[in-house]
């Protein structure tokens, strides 16, 4: 393994790449970031391999240029409708083989997690993550670390994330055809949460909402573990479409106006500001107010947030969430989004989550849009730091990477998550 980590977020609107280097002292420095508009996906699912691989190539090439480092493989995030998740339980008798007493060790933990993942899933799906939420030893619940405890019966509560086999294969294919290997795949909201949420928020119970272009992805964390994740198949592109249809302008112009003058919370617009809409086909340009624009944007964004709220109300019935609602993704840049979210969820505990700052000479990734790509890098850095601590991994101070293209892809993915969870 090497000290360079590359995170790739293949989104419906943009592909984003982050290159970081983990140094021997455990510090992580970002050396390159790149992004490229993406046109080959719909609602987070690859529909056009050619267009997607081109976007991947240009995002990674832009990051390579910045970091003067040649990328051969990367860690990829996936989300959207191809993901499903649920909670499960596992139970084993603590083994006394080779031990003086029934002290729980790593092999018991591995066995109970294997028991929890032994569930029927459809043939067209594969397990992406099995994340322990808490352990129960002889009926005593809520344990985070059962190792070294003495007990007879070990149970675990886990959150299982599954992905569509074909959708995952298509993502991997795009990356491979762009001439990069895939070191691992992870759920994009899990990555984003690593980047934008504080430990306190994760413990108290918080909701991450990734307001993307094609989908709105949600992850609820409580006691530092995911309790539910879901995706709503609407995003910022729908808002742009609304502006384009209502005002009779192209989607390119609608997108530009949305970004430059859009707002989704009318009370913030107390001054009279005008927006110039370009005329189509020789039609004279039209002048509207920001309020008028807001009246097109706000109902759609509110609808997305209400759908999220209603879905979560069903999924997290019994959970006490006293942390924050953290917003990320491009939609989190919309003027007034925190106010509208506060209104819909009836709480003031809402904030915009900027990607965590790491070391390095620049911080242009410190925005909600880079939450996922930076989160992948941070997660993998955690895995490597753990491996270094346990003496399994030596950092090699070189920018040359092994060519992992021909490596057994799924073995690599398995190893990554075995180390992580």
Ligand X SMILES: Nc1ncnc2c1ncn2[C@@H]1O[C@H](COP(=O)(O)OP(=O)(O)OP(=O)(O)O)[C@@H](O)[C@H]1O
Question: Which residue number, 35 or 133, has a Cβ lying nearer to Mg ion?
Answer: 35
Question: Which residue number, 4 or 56, has a Cβ lying nearer to ligand X?
Answer: 56
Binding window for Mg ion (CB under 5 A); candidates: 5-13, 59-67, 192-200, 316-324: 5-13
Q: Do strands 350-352 and 325-328 pair parallel, antiparallel, or not at all (unpaired)?
A: parallel
Binding window for Mg ion (CB under 5 A); candidates: 7-15, 49-57, 136-144, 164-172: 7-15
Question: Which residue number, 11 or 146, has a Cβ lying nearer to Mg ion?
Answer: 11
Query: Could you say which of 32, 90, 205, 212 contacts Mg ion (CB under 5 A)?
Result: 212
**Terminal Cα distance for the chain, rounded:** 19
Residue 49 binding result from ligand X, Mg ion, none, given CB thresholds of 5 to 8 Å by partner type: none
Distance (Å, rounded) from C-alpha 362 to C-alpha 381?
A: 19
Report the interhelical angle of 371-389 vs 188-196 (nearest 10°). Answer: 80
Question: Which residue number, 41 or 156, has a Cβ lying nearer to ligand X?
Answer: 41
Residue carrying structure tokens 């979560």: 312
Q: Is 14 in the site for ligand X (CB under 6 A)?
A: yes
Whether the Cβ atoms of residue 153 and residue 147 lie closer than 8 Å to each other: no
Residue carrying structure tokens 């302008």: 249
Distance (Å, rounded) from C-alpha 237 to C-alpha 190?
A: 23
In eight-state DSSP terms, residue 81 is G
Q: Is 181 in the site for Mg ion (CB under 5 A)?
A: no
Residue 7 binding result from ligand X, Mg ion, none, given CB thresholds of 5 to 8 Å by partner type: none
Question: Which residue number, 12 or 206, has a Cβ lying nearer to ligand X?
Answer: 12
Whether the Cβ atoms of residue 102 and residue 148 lie closer than 8 Å to each other: no
> Residues in contact with ligand X, total (CB under 6 A)?
24
Residues 323-382 that bind ligand X (CB under 6 A): 329-331, 333-334, 369
Residue 354 binding result from Mg ion, ligand X, none, given CB thresholds of 5 to 8 Å by partner type: none
Alpha helices in 97-146 (DSSP H): 106-117
Residue 205 binding result from ligand X, Mg ion, none, given CB thresholds of 5 to 8 Å by partner type: none
Q: Which distant-in-sequence residues (6+ apart) come within 8 Å of 392 by Cβ?
A: none
Q: Is 12 in the site for ligand X (CB under 6 A)?
A: yes
Residue carrying structure tokens 């479409």: 241
Binding window for Mg ion (CB under 5 A); candidates: 9-17, 34-42, 335-343, 396-404: 9-17
User: Measured from the CB of residue 212, what is the shortest distance to ligand X in angstroms?
Assistant: 2
Residue 215 binding result from ligand X, Mg ion, none, given CB thresholds of 5 to 8 Å by partner type: ligand X
Residue 12 binding result from Mg ion, ligand X, none, given CB thresholds of 5 to 8 Å by partner type: ligand X
Question: Which residue number, 90 or 336, has a Cβ lying nearer to ligand X?
Answer: 336
User: Measured from the CB of residue 415, what is the shortest distance to ligand X in angstroms?
Assistant: 27
Q: Which distant-in-sequence residues (6+ apart) come within 8 Å of 199 by Cβ?
A: 224
Whether the Cβ atoms of residue 89 and residue 119 lie closer than 8 Å to each other: no
The helix (run of H) or strand (run of E) holding residue 88 is: strand 83-93
Token representation of residue 404: 């992992």
Residues 214-273 that bind ligand X (CB under 6 A): 214-215, 235-237, 240, 255, 258-259, 262
Residue 360 binding result from ligand X, Mg ion, none, given CB thresholds of 5 to 8 Å by partner type: none
Query: 59-98 burial, b if ≥16 CB within 10 A, otherwise e?
Result: bbbbbbebbebebbbbbbbbbbbbbbbeebebebebeeee
Closest CA to 78 of 160, 167, 196, 194: 167
Whether the Cβ atoms of residue 79 and residue 187 lie closer than 8 Å to each other: yes
Token representation of residue 176: 């491979």
Binding window for ligand X (CB under 6 A); candidates: 118-126, 212-220, 312-320, 393-401: 212-220
User: Measured from the CB of residue 364, what is the shortest distance to ligand X in angstroms?
Assistant: 14
Residue 259 binding result from Mg ion, ligand X, none, given CB thresholds of 5 to 8 Å by partner type: ligand X
Residues 11-50 that bind Mg ion (CB under 5 A): 11
Whether the Cβ atoms of residue 83 and residue 42 lie closer than 8 Å to each other: no
User: Measured from the CB of residue 261, what is the shortest distance to ligand X in angstroms?
Assistant: 10
Under the rule (CB under 6 A), what is the footprint of ligand X?
11-14, 38, 44, 212-215, 235-237, 240, 255, 258-259, 262, 329-331, 333-334, 369
Under the rule (CB under 5 A), what is the footprint of Mg ion?
11, 212
């Amino acid at each position: 393994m090497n000290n360079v980590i590359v995170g790739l977020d293949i989104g419906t609107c943009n592909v984003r790449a982050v290159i970081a280097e983990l140094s021997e002292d455990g510090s992580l420095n970002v050396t390159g970031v790149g992004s490229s508009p993406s046109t080959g996906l719909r609602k987070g699912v690859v529909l056009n391999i050619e267009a997607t691989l081109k976007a991947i190539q240009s995002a990674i090439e832009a990051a390579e240029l910045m970091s003067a480092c040649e990328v051969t493989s990367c860690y990829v995030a996936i989300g959207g409708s191809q993901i499903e998740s649920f909670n499960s339980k596992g139970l084993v008798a603590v083994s006394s083989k080779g031990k003086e007493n029934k002290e729980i060790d790593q092999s018991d933990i591995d066995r109970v997690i294997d028991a929890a993942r032994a569930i029927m899933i459809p043939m067209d799906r594969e397990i992406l993550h099995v994340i322990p939420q808490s352990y129960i030893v002889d009926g005593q619940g809520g344990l985070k670390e059962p190792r070294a405890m003495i007990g007879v019966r070990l149970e675990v509560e886990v959150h299982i994330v599954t992905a569509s086999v074909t959708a995952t294969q298509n993502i991997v294919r795009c990356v491979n055809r762009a001439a990069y290997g895939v070191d691992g795949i992870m759920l994009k909201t899990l990555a984003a949460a690593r980047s934008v949420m504080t430990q306190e928020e994760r413990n108290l119970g918080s909701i991450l909402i990734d307001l993307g272009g094609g989908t709105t992805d949600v992850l609820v964390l409580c006691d530092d573990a995911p309790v539910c994740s879901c995706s709503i198949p609407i995003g910022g592109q729908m808002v742009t479409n609304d502006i384009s249809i209502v005002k009779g302008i192209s989607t390119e112009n609608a997108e530009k106006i949305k970004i430059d003058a859009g707002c989704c919370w009318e009370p913030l617009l107390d001054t009279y500001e005008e927006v110039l809409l370009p005329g189509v086909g020789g039609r004279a340009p039209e002048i509207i107010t920001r309020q008028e624009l807001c009246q097109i944007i706000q109902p759609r964004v509110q609808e997305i947030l209400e759908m999220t709220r209603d879905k979560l109300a069903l999924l997290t019935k019994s959970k006490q969430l006293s942390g924050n609602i953290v917003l990320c993704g491009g939609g989190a840049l919309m003027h007034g989004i925190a106010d509208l979210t506060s209104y819909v969820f009836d709480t003031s505990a809402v904030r915009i989550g900027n990607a965590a700052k790491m070391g390095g000479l620049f911080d242009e990734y410190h925005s909600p849009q880079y939450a996922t790509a930076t989160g992948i890098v941070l997660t993998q850095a955690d895995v490597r730091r753990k491996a270094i601590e346990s003496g399994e991994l030596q950092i090699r101070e070189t920018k040359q990477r092994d060519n992992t293209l021909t490596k057994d892809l799924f073995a690599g993915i398995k190893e990554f998550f075995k180390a992580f969870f």
